[in-house]
Amino acid sequence: MSEEKKYPLKKVLLICAKGSIEDVYASLVMANGAVMEGIETKVFFTFFGLDAITKARMNNLHTSTVGNPAMRMPGGIPFPTWLGGVPGVESAVSSIMRSQMEALDIPPVDEFLEMIKAGGGEIYACKLAFDMFKMKKEDLWDGVKDVITIGQFYEMADGLQTQIIFT
pLDDT of residue 64: 82
- Is residue 63 within 8 A of residue 19, CB to CB? The reply is no
What is the per-residue pLDDT for 128?
98
The 8-class DSSP code of residue 162 comes to E
Give me the pLDDT at residue 5, please.
62
Q: Is pLDDT of 69 > 80?
A: no
What are the E-state strand segments in 35-139?
40-45, 122-126
Q: Taking the model in full, what pTM does it have? A: 0.88
pLDDT at 117: 98
Mean pLDDT of the chain: 90
When pLDDT is cut at 50, 70 and 90, the band that residue 66 belongs to is: confident
Cα 142 to chain centroid, rounded: 16
Q: Where in the chain is the domain with CATH 3.40.1260.10?
A: 9-59+109-167
Q: With cut-offs at 50, 70 and 90, classify the pLDDT of residue 1.
A: very low
CA distance 97 to 78: 16
Helices and strands, number each (H, E), in the chain: 6, 5
The top-level CATH class assigned to 9-59+109-167 is: alpha beta
CA–CA separation, 145 vs 150, rounded Å?
14
Q: Give the pLDDT confidence of 138-156 residue by residue, as tens digits.
A: 999 999 999 999 999 999 9
**Please, which pLDDT band fits residue 49 given cuts at 50, 70 and 90?**
very high
